[in-house]
Amino acid sequence: MTQGPLTTEAGAPVADNQNSETAGAGGPVLLQDQSLLEKLAHFNRERIPERVVHARGAGAYGTFTLTRDVSRWTRAAFLSEVGKQTEAFLRFSTVAGSLGAPDAVRDPRGFALKFYTEEGNYDLVGNNTPVFFVKDAVKFPDFIHTQKRDPYTGSQEADNVWDFWGLSPESTHQVTWLFGDRGIPAGYRHMNGYGSHTYQWNNEAGEVFWVKYHFKTDQGIENLTTEEAEALAGRDPDSHQRDLREAIERGEYPSWTVQVQIMPAAEAAGYRFNPFDLTKVWPHGDYPPIEIGRLELNRNPQNIFAEVEQSVFSPAHFVPGIGPSPDKMLQGRLFAYGDAHRYRVGVNADHLPVNRPRATEAHTHSRDGFLYDGRHRGAKNYEPNSFGGPHQTGRPLWQPLPVGGATGDHDAPRHAEDDDFVQAGDLYRLMPEDARQRLVDNLAGSIAGVSREDIAERAVHNFRRADGDLGKRLEAAVRALREG
């Protein structure tokens, strides 16, 4: 499609885009060649800082369709009527790798979902695992530092990884997930997604329920072995995002069945596990998953930078009827995600097309800053005002929680069966024998790479506490590799 002459950013036509302006034939380039200078200056600034975590990603647009009446639990408008459809955008990612890292690696996968609802955008920022490595946001920067490049060697170091995990027994459950068969999904279409955290739902009567989200792939779970992943990562670093894009181009729209686990608020205090502990799951026998909808991805972004790299998600983006829980990791993320986007993309990141509300319009008193587009024109920028400006509703999005006691650096409340190892052991015992052997082999191959015997022993000991058989087999496998 012809679009007319090439122009500068200011709209002036460009006479020659093949040759820069010089002082005579073969002479030095002139400072007055503004087309050249503008082009080089823009090129120098084309990239923005990559995400500290979840830098490597792919995304697509789609539709969420509600298939079950959930109004008894939440007053969220987009969950109010069976058959109701809401546009959505889903970004998949790896966690530890940089923007140029390969897709096929052993790493959790981000599952960040934006619902463009009529009450504003609702972001559900989860992973492809129902649990995580740590339970308090104060430990998150330390954990990520162990996964990134060492400040001295410039490489990821097994010593750092296993030293931290060994000294943080709460990570044992997630590490068992990570080194099991689902640690390397074959593609984004063939993995589940989870909200991971516990969230609050509240209904029109003000009743509170705790909820966990599950997105079960309709394509079936498919994974890669370590050997398959290493070969694929070297052959096609873009394997996962290519698979997603090409499937949508073919009209093979990937979908997920959406389920929730629901716990009445009154049951939380007496539940056998801390229901707000991100290193724990709620066993399905206690709170069976309830199917509520279907998510389908059916449209690719047209520009990866504008729509994937500049997309921003924050778990603080709630809508009426949905809110946070006392999960200490979630509480930290409520601040950290928005702060990261304001630093990385700019204070007006939510004005960009991929991030702005679709089914409603944002009305704020915030003004100016980088990328501000002047949308408010001459409207007053304070509240209250008598000039017809936006005003508060007086109705909070979520219900308040009772609190008490002295402030301080408290451990989370202990529940009857709270333990860092029981669920990791349960997960191991659910695996068939061949999967158990692959888990042992994967763990041993990683642990054997540490330089100090005490780090290796401490790592093995945590799995020994999860399951005696797992610990015994892992100890033997690590010893064989280290002595071999």
Give the start-end residues of each E strand in 229-306. Answer: 255-264, 290-299
At 313 the three-state DSSP class reads coil
Query: Which residues, including other chains, have CB under 8 Å from residue 127's CB and lie 6 or more apart?
Result: 95, 108, 109, 110, 111, 193, 194, 196
- Given phi > 0 = left and psi -120 to 50 = alpha, else beta, which region is 437? alpha
Provide the CA 331 distance to its chain's centre, in angstroms. 15
Whether 103 and 230 have beta carbons less than 8 Å apart is answered as no
User: Which residue is catalytic, options 17, 42, 54, 376?
Assistant: 54
User: Which residue is catalytic, options 42, 121, 127, 363?
Assistant: 127
At 177 the three-state DSSP class reads helix
Structure tokens at 77: 């408008």
Whether 160 and 454 have beta carbons less than 8 Å apart is answered as no
Query: In angstroms, rounded to a whole number, what is the distance separating the alpha carbons of residues 463 and 174?
Result: 12
Angle between helices 158-167 and 433-447 (to 10 degrees): 120
Exposure of 463 in the CB half-sphere (CA atoms within 13 A): 30
Nearest to 351 by CA among 330, 333, 370: 370
Residue 80's CB: how many other CB atoms inside 10 A?
Answer: 15
Nearest to 280 by CA among 184, 400, 414, 167: 414
Structure tokens at 90: 């889903």
Whether 451 and 159 have beta carbons less than 8 Å apart is answered as yes
Query: Which residues, including other chains, have CB under 8 Å from residue 291's CB and lie 6 or more apart?
Result: 67, 68, 257, 258, 259
Full DSSP string of 110-124: EEEEEEEEBTEEEEE
DSSP letter (8 states) at residue 170? G
127 is an active site residue: yes
Burial of 482 (0-12, 13-18, 19+ CB in 10 A): middle
Provide the CA 204 distance to its chain's centre, in angstroms. 30
At 159 the three-state DSSP class reads helix
190 is an active site residue: no
Q: Which amino acid makes up residue 427?
A: L
* Torsion sign, CA atoms 67, 124, 244, 239: negative
Tell me the catalytic residues: 54, 127
